Amino acid sequence: MYCNICGSREDNFSIFMIKMCKNCFHEFANISIMDEDYDRYKNLIRILLSYYITPKAILYPAN
């Protein structure tokens, strides 16, 4: 399986519904708001949250 961020096949693991390699996880855990890659990670967080939230929305639909 490939890392969903950098496409590497090295040392990947799943976090929520995506695959992430150790390098990307380390960057992700230590990313700074001032970093130029922050927007990329911010989008990733948005994707993660949508995966995380969607099943609950299906289980408990708002009327």
Question: For binding to Zn ion (CB under 5 A), which residues are involved?
Answer: 3, 5-6, 8, 21, 24
Nearer residue to Zn ion within complex by CB, 6 or 57: 6
Q: What's the closest the beta carbon of residue 1 comes to Zn ion, in angstroms?
A: 11
Cα distances from 15 to residues 32, 40, 52, 60, in angstroms, run 20, 17, 10, 23
Q: Which residue in the block uniquely carries the two structure tokens 């996880």?
A: 25
Question: What's the min distance (Å) between Cβ of 3 and Zn ion?
Answer: 3
Q: What is the DSSP letter of 36?
A: T
Find the shortest distance in angstroms from Cβ 16 to Zn ion: 15
